[in-house]
Amino acid sequence: MSSLGHHVMADVDQDGGILSLPSHIYADICDCLNKKVSAANWRALVELSYPSYTVSNDFMKRLEGEMDPANELLIYYSSRGMSIGELLYFLDQLKVDKVLRHFRSYEPVVIRKEPVTEVDLVETDNLCLEVKASGFPNPRYQWYWCGDRMNNFVPLKGQTDAVLHIANVSKENAGGYSCQIWNSTDPKMCRQTRTSMVCIQDSRPPSPPSKQRFINVANYIQQSRSSESSDIVAVDEKKENIYHAADKVALLIGNGDYRNEKCLQAPNNDVVDFAKTFRYLGFKVVSLLNLTKYEIEMAVEELCCLLGENVYIVFYFCGHGFEECGRLFLVPTDAPADYGTEDCICADAVLYKIQMFDPVLVLMILDTCRTRSGKTGCSDQIDFNDKETKRKGNTVILYATSEGLEAFENPNGNHGLLVTSLNPMLKEKKGIDAVLSEFKEAFSRQATALGAVQIPEQRSNLTEPRRSLADNICTTGYTTAFRQRSLRWQSAHSLPERKIHVFEATGVKVELEFQSDVSNILCIVLRVLDNGHIDLCTAMLQNFPPTLVVQSAKESNSLTGSFQMKYTIFDLQRLKGSNLTVNVAIIYRLRYGSITMIQSHDVDLGRPLISAIELGKTCVEEASVREPTQNDEMDSITKYASLIINIT
């Protein structure tokens, strides 16, 4: 995928929410998507954005009956964390030029790949010629055909795509083919491809004289049109990547709120930014913040349920860490003050578990310090076959820093140094080894400027180094497994439908809208849509489950200018028992009255996001005050081996 980042206007933040778009641009988007053109309407957007953003069948039926389905869909996508940059990418794929003109200037047509010069076919074969071109607005195509030596090219009806396809050819289809490409009304900006000569014979091998006759025709036509095609701008294209993934999965963990360690600011932001990037690249993203040891282990177990043959996998951890006996350990949020290796997660153990499911590409990004813990001795719990893991030839590990060194946050504390440099590069269509090599060069310049001694380290044993995180997904041969993984991932990433409740006694109408950037954090936006029979009304949510942490803030609605309340619910993996139920209350005074009154109503939100799979169900009661137990000190590989066997 290619980024639109360098085309976006300075006053529009790509990472901002869709609803923050200027009103005239938002209106243009709705206008374009509401049109009945099947190739570029709101239904096409739903299909294109899957599986990064899923829409239920019930919601699709609801959209079909809406007067403005595009607006409803954009509100829905906004509630699920789709950024402006992601929306622009999808609109670019749909070639919605009317909208993209707000963000991109004119770019002349450049032919990136010419069709082949000669094609030899026999009757009943299929003819396929392809041209690739870039430019903005998106290029238009018209194929032409010449069946004689007189350079009489005629347009082919219906052949207006980048690919020319003619099925069951006969000798009447022989001749020269060329494509005209344009994106402007100015004739000087039109481009013409070179002529492709097509020779068609019967089932017998073509005779040399006959073939030579067509070659001569090709030379004649090409010479006669040389002046017309002399202004073609041709760019050599590198050999295309031949690799595909059966699926792509990412587990991103950020630990910042430590009980007995220094708290970190960067992990929250780094995970959110990485999640956007990997969703952009088509990954099924599981993003989790502030996990205990048990919860990290169970998150890895859930990740393994999404793995399989020919799958790309990314594992990212950001937080405290240390190195002991040549192994890196990841520190959970509930680690005791005197934690050692037995209280933490061994990164090699995570890799070993992932490799049990035969992914074709594994990228581990470990954004932690690699200084020694100061403890004596090594854990005797780790017992797995490193050699077997190394034989896979499918692994790249990126350490944020080298052995014995620390990893730093930016001076402003908002992001780690690693993510600041790496995140923009991950979208490039280059082999992962090449991307990381370029990253290290860019990082060294950044670290030097900040005076930080942090040297990233890359370890790779890839036998296919041209594999890229931007490779396309091809489910051929893996369709059933892909669907099963999609259903499981969707079950842990479903948000409640938008809810509207009317309090009958007062006529007050309130709306609950749901948003999420991270798999274990739910945001609820509460708005008063109609004050009903009263002049002044305030709405609030209350009675949250005691195992969840909730923060509230008053904010302004960018579309209406009115105020609304936003409630952020953390640690959804610790929701125990029944569904998440909240109480919606309104506080008001009747007209001409002085008595404050309250009405409330319980709203069942089901089990949203990661709570649907009850991650860490058995430890939820002691999660916030948990101390290590004897069972916890067992190696995670041994502890959950039976579960892995059952899954497979």
- Can you say whether residue 374 is alpha, beta or left, with left for phi > 0 and alpha for psi between -120 and 50 degrees? left
Weakest mean pLDDT among 292-296, 450-454, 517-521, 595-599: 450-454
> What are residue 598's phi and psi, to 5 degrees?
-130, 135
Q: Are residues 150 and 90 in the same domain?
A: no
- The whole-number pLDDT of residue 391 equals 63
**Domain C-terminal end among 229, 264, 284:** 229
Q: Domain ends where: 229, 258, 282?
A: 229
> Same structural domain for residues 216 and 255?
no
- Summary mean pLDDT of the chain: 81
Together in a domain, 122 and 223: yes
Q: How many structural domains compose the chain?
A: 4
Interatomic CA distance for residues 457 and 442, integer angstroms: 13
CA distances from 133 to 44, 149, 266, 607 (A): 23, 28, 41, 47
Q: Which runs of E-coded beta strand occur in 421-461?
A: 457-460
The whole-angstrom separation of Cα 10 and Cα 359 is 40
Looking at the structure, do residues 261 and 208 belong to the same domain, yes or no? no
Q: Are residues 473 and 515 in the same domain?
A: no
Q: How far is CA 81 from CA 111, 410, 487, 511, in A?
A: 36, 25, 20, 18
Query: pLDDT band for position 443 (50/70/90)?
Result: confident
Asked whether the predicted pLDDT for residue 387 surpasses 60, the reply is: no
91 and 121 assigned to the same domain = no
Alpha-carbon separation of residue 203 from 128, 585, 589 (angstroms)? 19, 80, 90
Q: Is the pTM of this model over 0.75?
A: no
Cα 308 from Cα 529, distance rounded (Å): 47
Residues 189 and 262 in one domain: no
627: β partners: none
Q: Scanning the structure block, which residue is given the tokens 């919860």?
A: 295
List Cβ neighbours of 350 (8 Å cut-off, separation of 6 or more).
Answer: 300, 315, 330, 364
| 138-189 residue pLDDT tens | 899 999 999 876 678 899 998 999 999 998 888 889 999 999 999 888 888 8
Please list, residue by residue across 326-362, b when 16 or more beta carbons sit within 10 angstroms of its beta carbon and e when fewer do.
ebbbbbbbbbeeebbbbbbbbbbbbbbbbbbbebbbb
The residue out of 40, 66, 100 marking a domain boundary is 100
Burial class (CB in 10 A: 0-12, 13-18, 19+), 131: buried
Structure tokens at 524: 């609820």
In a domain, 106, yes or no: no
Q: What is the pLDDT of residue 375?
A: 55
Mean pLDDT across the stretch 320-344? 93
In a domain, 237, yes or no: no
What pLDDT does 20 receive?
Answer: 79
Is 482 a member of any domain? Answer: no
pLDDT digits (tens, 9 = 90+) for 484-527: 998 899 889 889 988 999 998 889 999 999 999 899 999 999 99
Tell me if 278 sits within 8 A of 470, measured CB to CB: no
- Percent of the chain whose pLDDT exceeds 70: 81
Q: Residue 346: pLDDT band by 50, 70, 90 thresholds?
A: very high
CATH number, domain of 359, equals 3.40.50.1460
In a domain, 621, yes or no: no
H or E element, residue 366:
strand 361-367
Q: How many CB atoms lie within 10 A of CB 283?
A: 25
Domain span at residue 165 reads 115-229
Q: Where residue 516 sits, what CATH number does that domain have?
A: 2.60.40.3360
Same-domain check for residues 291 and 440: yes
Q: In this predicted structure, what is the pLDDT of residue 59?
A: 84
The answer on 119 and 95 residing in a single domain is no
Over residues 517-544, the mean pLDDT reads: 90
For residue 267, what pLDDT band results from cuts at 50, 70 and 90?
very high
pLDDT value for 365? 97
Domain-located, residue 489: no
Residue 507 lies in a domain: yes
Closest CA to 612 of 642, 567, 578, 648: 578
- What pLDDT, on the 0 to 100 scale, is given for residue 606? 93
For residues 268 and 193, membership in a common domain is answered with: no
Question: What is the model's pLDDT at position 68?
Answer: 85
pLDDT for position 344:
95
The CATH number given to whatever domain includes residue 184 is 2.60.40.10
The pLDDT tens digits of the residues spanning 203-227 come to 655 444 443 333 333 343 334 333 3
Task: Please list, in sequence order, all residues whose beta carbon lies within 8 angstroms of the beta carbon of residue 324, skipping any fewer than 6 positions away.
Answer: 341, 372, 373, 375, 378, 379
Q: Report helix angle 84-93 to 266-280, nearest 10.
A: 10
Segment 195-202 shows an average pLDDT of 87
55 with 170, same domain: the answer is no
SS3 510: strand
Do residue 129 and residue 224 come from a single domain?
yes
In a domain, 586, yes or no: yes
* CB 268, CB 585: distance < 8 Å: no
Domain assignment present for 518: yes
